[in-house]
């Protein structure tokens, strides 16, 4: 894929992700939107490493210009962090579902339904 196309796609992914995060009422959908947006930011970093005509940044692929290895190293960390965030958030969504019997954000926010401390 061309560098510019990847950049455009990454921005589109973030837009779609944030859109889902705002307009969906279900928590699972919101988390999926968050994950799509995070995927967009990861793709953005990968796309930055693109150099025209370069080979992948892997040792032993022969001579010639290579793609920028640093953004790809950063992306590995970012992917792990996104995975951890999604997993942890889902655990607490399950908890809320068990205790409040809903995943609807509007219902979760209604004050009178909360058990008093």
Partner 1 sequence: MAAALSGVLAYVGCGLLGFIGAPRLFSWLALLAGSAAFLLWAPGFPEALVGGLPWGIAVAGDMWALGLWALGIVLHAAVLLHARGRAGAFHPLTTVLIGACLAAGLSRDLFNLYVLMDLTSLLALVLIAFERRPRAVWAGLQYLVLTEVGLILYLFGLGLVYGKLGTLSVSSLAFRGVDLRDPALAVGAGLLLAGTAVKTGVFLLGLWLPQAHGQAPTEVSVLLSGIVVKVGVVALARLAEAFPVGNLLVALGIITGFGGLAYAFWERDLKVFLGFHTMSQLGYMIIAVGLGAGMGALLYVVAHGLFKGLLFLAAGEAVEGTGRREIAALAGQLSVPVALSLAVGTWAIVGLPPLAGFAAKGVLAQAAPAWTKTVLFALGVGTAASFAKLLPLFRPVGKGRVGGLGVLTGAVVGFGLAGILAFPELTSWRAWGEAFLAVAMGYALYLGLRAVAPPLARFTFDRMLVSILLGTVGIAALVALGWLS
Which residues are at the interface with partner 1 (CB under 8 A)? 14, 18, 21-22, 27, 30-31, 34, 37-38, 40-42, 44-45, 48, 70-71, 73-74, 77-78, 81, 84-85, 88-89, 92-93, 95-96, 99-100, 105-106, 108-109, 114-115, 117
User: What is the closest distance, in whole angstroms, from the C-beta atom of residue 55 to partner 1 in the complex?
Assistant: 20
HSE at residue 36, side-chain half, CA atoms within 13 A, is 18
Which is it for the CA torsion 13, 19, 21, 26, positive or negative? negative
Using an 8 Å Cβ cutoff, are 41 and 75 in contact?
A: no
Tell the smallest beta-carbon distance from residue 78 to partner 1 (Å): 6
Q: 3-state DSSP: the chain helix, strand, coil percent, rounded to 5?
A: 70, 5, 25
CB of 52 to partner 1, least distance (A): 14
Nearer to partner 1, 9 or 108 (CB): 108
Shorter beta-carbon distance to partner 1: residue 63 or 115: 115
Report the residue number, 61 or 113, with the smaller CB distance to partner 1. Answer: 113
Give CA–CA dist 27/25, Å, rounded.
6
Exposed, middle or buried, 50 (CB in 10 Å: 0-12/13-18/19+)? middle
Residue 58 or residue 105: which is nearer to partner 1 going by CB? Answer: 105
């Amino acid at each position: 894929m061309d560098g510019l196309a990847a950049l455009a796609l990454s921005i589109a992914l973030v837009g779609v992700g944030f859109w889902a995060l705002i307009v969906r009422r279900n928590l699972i959908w919101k988390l999926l939107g968050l994950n799509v947006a995070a995927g967009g930011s990861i793709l953005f970093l990968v796309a930055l490493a693109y150099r025209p005509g370069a080979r992948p940044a892997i040792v032993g692929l022969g001579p010639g210009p290579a793609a920028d290895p640093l953004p790809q190293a950063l992306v590995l960390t970012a992917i792990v962090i996104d995975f951890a965030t999604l997993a942890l958030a889902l655990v607490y969504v399950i908890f809320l579902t068990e205790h409040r019997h809903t995943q609807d954000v509007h219902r979760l926010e209604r004050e009178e339904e909360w058990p008093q401390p």
